[in-house]
Chain A
């Protein structure tokens, strides 16, 4: 059977099982790249945890910015600069609404989640940590939520502690409670795991930390594309996310921080835009959020991020969340039924990602072979080496989803896996 007829058949099946697929088909048309073919096959993009594709309004917004409004921000009285500043600050207000922060000055533009976490490590944790203090992370962190803490704890004579998990990929919550002590200065926790797909019970975990007066940072890189996030109702102190994982441009992201904490924190980098006045003797810093935004920012990126948020917020996110859950459940079900395929982790609540290994082939070979069928998945350790060590595998193959994926994408992956078995039979 050819690929074309296979996907038509399975698309029809999918429609029969899940009535909302029609909407998704029209949303797919907003993403020009999804029309591409790869190795002669229609692209099946299942690497959304690495980065998501961009809808036309985002691409247009970036183009519009450069064609119509390009100027530096906050620096000149001329009209273009004012318009660029308005677009840049307007996007900040969109991020504020998207995360439901109380004020827009609580939104700091950064390069992405990695820089957001480094900012908190540098400007919040470093000045506070004393020898013997502890920073608490979890067993399923991305390297970007491990290494910055290793650096600052080592420098300050503090200790990095790790909340363990079980074989399902769920954190051990009773152990978490025990790890919250008088020495804990910060909990920095992944909201949704990029390699296991685990959605951590963050609301409850934040409540437990806050009950002891311990601040909490959430790494929301994998959460924002899938769920509505409300930093005020979560009660977290910091929230980090990347634009490129939520349908916006690369090179920009946001750190939410409670104003009270951000006010107390020293700057992250020094330079232009982050000052109020400079003499050779003394510099006074600008007010929030500019204190943390030294140098010319990624203005076009911010504009694109604003457009991504407009796009997302105009969608019926509840129904897309249901659709995505249906596709992910279907992927789990089909992969579980595949001979020689073993899923890594089966968390209580899962979003976005399904990791697996095959008996007959290393993940890397799986990745190459399914790519020949047009199916893009990620293979490797996913920047979570401790997770690989915990499960005793060198690498996994990971399919990760966005709302524009369908059951037929899963079918394409599963038939490509049959080719893997054939090569190594």
Chain B
């Protein structure tokens, strides 16, 4: 099977890597979680401001590959304003999409722009890069304080 690099590095992803959104430390964050990907050296700290069950703000810091950075950037945009429950559903939908077989069309449901990450399915070594910010979100929502690791 040949895979196409432009499926992985879509313009949207390249753009979010170059200019990550919400790349900051919000002053009123009340949930944080750290995620790392020891094999490739991706590291992310996620900050959430959650009030009355709603994500009012989401931002991140850290360093990593283009996929993990763009994924964190687009994720923080996607979850802002969502209830914790909605954000949790988005986590599940994203996770299901990127781990589904590359041979079938992806189920992009309500993922919107996040569907751009369906391209990682053809690059198994990179699925965990796309997933890292989401696992970190999952931990922050569960208010787990320990570090999450995708390996």
Residues of A at the B interface (CB closer than 8 Å) are 39-40, 361-365, 368-369, 372, 379-381, 388, 394-395, 419, 423-424
Contacts and interface: CB of A to CB of B under 8 A. Distances in A.
B66 A363 contact: no
11 contacts: A362-B40, A362-B66, A364-B40, A364-B64, A364-B126, A368-B5, A368-B8, A369-B9, A372-B5, A423-B5, A424-B18
B103 interface: no
Shortest 10 CB-CB contacts between residues of A and residues of B:
A394-B41, A395-B41, A362-B65, A364-B65, A364-B40, A365-B66, A423-B9, A365-B65, A40-B2, A372-B5
B41 A39 contact: no
Contacts of A419: 5
A381 B36 CA distance: 13
B83 to A, nearest CB: 33
Nearest to B43: A394
A187 to B, nearest CB: 29
A381 B67 CA distance: 18
B104 interface: no
* Residue among A39, A362, A379 with the highest chain B CB neighbour number at 10 A: A362
B40 A395 contact: yes
B126 A368 contact: yes
A395 B9 CA distance: 20
Contact of B2 (A39, A362, A364, A395): A39
Most buried by B among A39, A361, A364, A394: A364
Nearest to B69: A362
Interface in B2-23: 2-3, 5, 8-9, 14, 17-18
Interface string B64-103: 1111010000000000000000000000000000000000
A381 B39 CA distance: 7
Which size bracket describes the interface of B in this complex?
20 to 34
Nearest to A388: B41
Of A40, A379, A394, most buried by chain B (CB within 10 Å of CB) is A394
Nearest to A381: B41
Contacts of A364: 40-42, 64-65, 67, 126, 129
Nearest to B62: A394
Contacts of B63: 362, 394
B2 to A, nearest CB: 5
A361 B126 CA distance: 15
Contacts of A372: 3, 5
B40 A363 contact: yes
A273 to B, nearest CB: 35
Contact of B123 (A361, A368, A381, A394): A368
A254 to B, nearest CB: 28
A380 B41 contact: yes
Contacts of A365: 9, 65-67
A338 to B, nearest CB: 19
A423 B14 CA distance: 8
B64 to A, nearest CB: 6
A394 B40 CA distance: 8
A97 B69 CA distance: 52
A277 to B, nearest CB: 46
B121 to A, nearest CB: 13
Contacts of B5: 368-369, 372, 419, 423
Interface in B94-127: 123, 125-126
A393 to B, nearest CB: 8
B17 to A, nearest CB: 8
Contacts of B17: 424
A364 B65 CA distance: 6
Nearest to B38: A381
A39 B4 CA distance: 10
A362 B64 contact: yes
A189 B51 CA distance: 54
Contacts of A423: 5, 9, 14
Interface string B23-67: 000000000000000011111000000000000000000011111
Nearest to A395: B41
Given A361-B65, A364-B67, A423-B9, 4 more contacts: A363-B41, A364-B129, A379-B40, A424-B18
A200 B125 CA distance: 34
Contacts of A424: 9, 14, 17-18, 66
Contacts of A380: 39-41
A44 B63 CA distance: 29
Contacts of A381: 41
